[in-house]
Amino acid sequence: MSFRFQHHTLFFHKPAKTSRDVLTNRDVYFVQCLSDDASVSGLGECAPIWGLSPESKAEVERTLANWNNIMQHPEQLTDVFNRISSLRFAVETALRDMAAGGTMHPFDVDLKHPIPINGLIWMSDAESMLRECRDKVEAGFTTIKFKVGALNFQEEIDLLRAVRSEFAERNLEIRLDANGAFNPKDALEKLDLLSTFRIHSIEQPIKAGQRDAMAHLIEKSPIAIALDEELIGVHTTTEKRKLIEHVRPHYLVLKPTLHGSFSGCDEWVALTEEKGIGWWATSALESNIGLNAIAQWVLTKRVSLPQGLGTGALFSNNVQSPWVVENGFLRYDKNLHWNFKSIFQ
């Protein structure tokens, strides 16, 4: 088989702000795997997040340029995939798609089942975030996730107070995502204040790599804590088990692009089942090609918690797909079709 790659720049409708940075566009690399006679092909997506993914842009593009040569030396693949999780995700998706006949069905699942998802509120001024929350509730979402950590903390407290004054806990579940913005020295104090608004969970309250501090925070926190960035770069089952047993999180947030593709995430899921902790999947801002693969993988699991998969509409030039968001669910509409005009011209 052979591979070819196509760079594509996705543009956000409006800047997407986190506590780390502000995103206006992002690079993705579509991966096409072709059979020897070119009669069947599979499609995947390599979508690293510069500054968060361990791999650099130079390393990704150098590896893609040399990929067909690397394929002649399969003993190198484990090291390559450990270093570049986003490429592992792309290649695994493309191979699965090709094995299924190149029909954009990398997993053998029933696409009739909708997936519950959370509505995501990106960082902005408090008034805009409250207005967006109202819009999402009106659109049918019952779980909302707020990005926090960039505004003044008192502003975020005031925002959550305003949200709770309008939407009771029985009607709206609130999740928070701090992207590591809190300082370990006062993180517990902040979590105590946030807990008064009956928060379901908070993702990565402090930066990754502070395992003792994270373990202490999880032990004392009045809010359930989910690990996200903490999982990046943890490759082997032994390393994964060691992290879980040390930190003892309440939830994991799984991103196949960042966390070892589907095979790596399957290992994380097995550990959550063993340890009795929860998990949900979240898109790492892939295009609809990557989102399609993640959504189908999620459908292979018995999920009840809302997933973080409604990111396709963020971009002005996304690949047109049959996935739609309706009433707080991600649903595959068989009456809609894929349009790949922007790829492999």
Average pLDDT estimate for 212-232: 97
Least confident of 1-15, 171-185, 265-279: 1-15
Spatial neighbors of 238 by CB under 8 A, at least 6 apart, are none
pLDDT at 19 over 70: no
Q: What is the mean pLDDT of the chain?
A: 93
pLDDT at 312 over 80: no
Entry pTM:
0.94
Spatial neighbors of 310 by CB under 8 A, at least 6 apart, are 117, 118, 119, 120, 283, 325, 330
pLDDT given at position 344: 61
What are the structural domains, with CATH classification, of the chain?
Answer: 2-99 (3.30.390.10), 115-332 (3.20.20.120)
Q: How far apart are the first and last CA of the chain?
A: 21
Measure the CA–CA gap between 330 and 172, rounded to whole angstroms: 18
What is the per-residue pLDDT across 164-175, written as a single tens digit (0 to 9) for each?
999 999 999 999
Tokens of 312: 């396709």
Tokens of 290: 């990557």
| Owner of token pair 């990565």 | 204
Catalytic residue numbers? 147, 255
pLDDT given at position 20: 73
Least confident of 16-25, 135-144, 220-229, 308-317: 16-25
Percentage of the chain surpassing pLDDT 90?
A: 82
pLDDT at 345 over 60: no
Average pLDDT estimate for 262-272: 97
pLDDT band, very low/low/confident/very high, at 123 (cuts 50, 70, 90)? confident
